[in-house]
Structure 1
Amino acid sequence: METMVVAGRFFGWSVAWSAFAIAVFAWGIGFYGPSVFLQSLHQTRGWPISQISFAVTVHFLLSAIVIACLPEIHRRVGIAKTTFLGAVLTAAGLILWSNSREPWQLFAAAIPSGAGWAMTSGAALNAIVARWFDRDRPIAIALAFNGASVGGVLFVPLWVYLIRSIGFPSAALLVGGCMVATVAYLCVRFLVKSPEDVGLAPDGDASHQARAKPQPRRTRIEIVRSARFITISAAFSLGLFAQIGLLAHLVARLTPELGIEHAGFLVSLATVCAVIGRTAAGKWMGEHDRRFAATANFAVQIAGVLLLTLGQGSLGLTLGCVLFGLGIGNLTSLPPLIVQKEFEREDVATAVALIIAINQGVFAFAPAIIGAMHDTTANYQLPFALIAMIQFLAAVIILLGRRSTRAPA
């Protein structure tokens, strides 16, 4: 037990910080990176935005397939080995993206990049953290997922700088190598351990105090058919479709008015706000209604999207990025926390993986659809107005779904 408690601190917090670091790379490359890659490839290769956007869609769509199988992969291979493999695949995909000379090569690059994203993003982070925390999971999840926002803060301007100074291929090799080395260390040092190895339960409790009698696992069909699952999945699928669609085109939306450097700064500002929003939600959550928190989150984002749709000039667009940014992080961290409250512990990992997989299967089409609408209308007003409407529908669904939590699913 001495290896799991250092100077009075529960080892699980070191695991949560490891998940934070993994999220920095995962989101910096696989989530925020494509918005910069899109603009860079459009400018340097002259390829249409809609064509590059479709490759980003394939990246997310392929990852959804892997995410659906992630709980079984973790049980057979182990969380540490799976996470390291994800880092290697992410780096390989990144290098292929940067060296593409024909549009079709982007779709080949999306295969390893999509698989790597699946093994290092939301469902993976939840699996890393969940076995260490139960009572303190909202704070631990917020900490781990804040790495996603920090990845946006650091990597968007970093990508812009590196691509301009040393070129996309060299930048990809440098960043990919750093990710593989960092994740390898974290896996060996922290992720290979589990509380059960030394007789602990989640939150550092003694196993005899916290270990509940295991319940039979429900099948995927049983989980998917439940009203709770349907409302969570539908609401966050729509919300993330809107969010990914906007983020993939945010640099392209802001650049004509503000310039690429200022656009990169505003994306970073949005992700700083995401850290603030997620941290505040994690501390406030406790026993509060998590579906109501999701509804409020959607409302704040809608206000930001409307400003990005109708606003002009630096002030309006900056405020739009701030409001939209405050909700970015919670759209990824809230689903696992709602599932934790509404499902049996044995079903949480499967339910979370299925929700994230379905979410990605839906929002994978967002970059391509928003890109096609942009190319058709020659501006972002109509696409962003659609995003605001989708978020409103998501807020209604998650709020109405509160009734399903009062009766067995």
Structure 2
Amino acid sequence: MGGTRRGFFGWHVVAAAFLLAMFAWGINFYGPSVYLHALHAREGWAPSLIAAAITLHFLASAVVVSVLPRLHRRFGLVPVTRAGVLASAAGLLGWGFASAPWQMVPAALLTACGWAVTSGAAINACVAPWFDRRRPAALAMAYNGASIGGVVFTPLWAALIAGFGFDYASVIVAGASLLLLWPLAGRYFGFGPARLGLHPDGAAGPPAPRAMRAPAGPLWRQPPFRSLSLAFAIGLTAQMGLLTTLFSILAPSLGVQGAGLVMSLATACAVVGRTVVGTLLPPGFDRRRAGALNFVLQAVGCAVLALAGGAAVPLVLGALLFGLGIGNLLSLPPLIAQAEWPAEEVAAVIALVTAVNQAFYAFGPGLFGRALDAFGPWAPPAAAAALQLLAAGVLARR
């Protein structure tokens, strides 16, 4: 393999990670809102009951992802990824065929395990060994699979459920994920560049060592880690909560189809924003500053939504500004960790940051839903704007 972008095998790994992210988010992140609607319509269960199972899915995943680096060291990237794909597929079948509320519990625990070992920390573990200088662009491209998962799977779920029912729709998606991702993991995730006689980025030699501070005790006791994890936990709680309520905020003014279109455009903006940051971020630019600016951009979009008063143009503008920052809340933590921790610690930093994030944002939909019910459509974006400004301030502290 050559060292050019066209021939360097690392870019094939990025493409494989893109597909893994697309299925992981389509099943385990965007999927739960579909499961809630489908089970409520089919079984008549209270949305709050189904939402509790979804919260369990995210909280249990936070526990598992915190030990992901240890699982990778003990069992290897390929077996762990395949186990995650299998768990996601089995859990999806559990959701699809659930006929009693208790059956959502094992389904949620299975999809939680699958989500933990195929989501953000796992994508970073697949891609990071292949890139150093080009890592921002590589991770941006891989993580774009998460956004495309929302674009592809939401209408796909709707079409499959309408045509076959939720139970058989789950069989189709679970089968497709196994058929595609099982061999893909073995082909692309089983080795690093050294096995092919290559160096990161396809360069002629190894990357120059960075001047890096010595580890200062457990991660929880390191101020940079606390600020990084807390900032993105706050930001993702705001983001998850607003995304859950955004359709309801837009629909009264834009109609159901218009709200759906704006939601899709916001997701597309996430791809644009992540790609711009990944490809244009200067090598020496402070990545924390980039993260803080991203939070501020989202806060501005949320403020526009809160002040829109039902007017169509500011609603659309606010949603698009908010959307531009969505993707970077996933891709920036690994880049900040790369710049601030020794290479051997980055995987542990990202796994623990992801665990903290999920433990926080699991409660976002419920909290923002209550704010919408209690105060009206201005409240969720106003709360999100305040939280994102708080996140920007926390991230700026080291």
The AA in structure 1 aligned to 2:236 is: L
Aligned-pair CA distance for 1:56: 1.8
Cα 1:196–1:211, aligned 2, differ >3 Å: closer, same or farther? Answer: farther
Deviation for aligned residue 1:325: 1.1
Map of 1:292 onto structure 2: 289
Q: Percent of aligned pairs with the same residue?
A: 46
Higher deviation after alignment, 100-109 or 359-368: 100-109
Which amino acid is the alignment partner of residue 281 of structure 1? V
Instruction: Report the equivalent of 2:274.
Output: 278
The answer to whether structure 1 residue 65 and structure 2 residue 48 are counterparts is no
- C-alpha deviations, 1:236-264, integer Å up to 9, x for none? 00001111122234345445555555444
User: How many residue pairs align between the two structures?
Assistant: 396
Q: TM-score, normalised by structure 2?
A: 0.91
Is contact 2:132–2:207 with CA below 8 Å preserved after alignment? no
* d(CA) in 2 for partners of 1:333, 1:159: 26
Query: Do the aligned residues in 2 keep the contact of 1:57 with 1:366 (CA within 8 Å)?
Result: no
Q: Name the CA distance, whole Å, in 2 between partners of 1:50 and 1:252.
A: 17
Residue 39 of structure 1 deviates from its aligned partner by 3.4
C-alpha deviation, 1:336, in angstroms: 0.5
Deviates more, 1:30-39 or 1:105-114: 30-39
Q: Which amino acid aligns with 1:169?
A: D
SS of 2:163's equivalent?
A: helix
Unmatched 5+ stretches in structure 1: 405-409
Q: What is residue 87 of structure 2 aligned with on the other side?
A: 89
**What is residue 323 of structure 1 aligned with on the other side?**
321
2:393 aligned with 1:396 = yes
CA distance in structure 1 between the aligned counterparts of 2:227 and 2:124, rounded to whole angstroms: 20
Q: Which residue of 2 aligns with 1:25?
A: 23
Task: Name 2:237's counterpart in structure 1.
Answer: 241
Supply the distance in 1 between the matched residues of 2:6 and 2:323 (Cα, whole angstroms): 35
The residue that corresponds to 1:170 in the other structure is 168
Match of 1:301 among 287, 298, 302: 298
Partner of 2:152: 154
User: Retained in 1: the 8 A contact 2:131–2:200?
Assistant: yes
Residue type at the aligned position of 1:342: E
SS in 2 for 1:9: coil
Tell me how far apart the structure 2 counterparts of residues 270 and 11 of structure 1 sit (CA, whole Å).
32
State how far apart, in whole Å, the 2-side matches of 1:8 and 1:170 are.
40
**Closer, same or farther: CA 19–217 of 1 in aligned 2, 3 Å:** farther
Change (3 A) 1:80 1:188: same
- Are the structure 2 counterparts of residues 356 and 316 from structure 1 closer, same or farther at C-alpha, using a change threshold of 3 Å? same
User: C-alpha deviations, 1:191-244, integer Å up to 9, x for none?
Assistant: 11311213333222355x44859x99959x522211111111110000011111
- Counterpart-to-counterpart distance in 2, 1:159 and 1:258: 23
Corresponding residue for residue 407 of structure 1? none
Deviations 1:349-392 (A, max 9, x none): 111111111111111222233334445x2845434432222111
Moved more, 162-171 or 46-55: 46-55
| Gap runs ≥5 in structure 2 | none
**Does the C-alpha gap of structure 1 residues 25 and 189 become closer, same or farther in structure 2, counting only changes over 3 Å?**
same
- Are the equivalent residues in 2 in contact too, given 1:304–1:324 (CA < 8 A)? yes
Tell me the equivalent position of 1:349.
Answer: 347
Distance 1:8 1:22, change over 3 A: closer
Distance in 2 of aligned mates of 1:217 and 1:184: 39
Whether contact under 8 Å (2:3, 2:201) holds in the other structure is no
Provide the rounded CA distance (Å) in 1 between the counterparts of 2:129 and 2:33: 33
The offset of 1:72, in angstroms, is: 0.8
Moved more, 92-101 or 275-284: 92-101
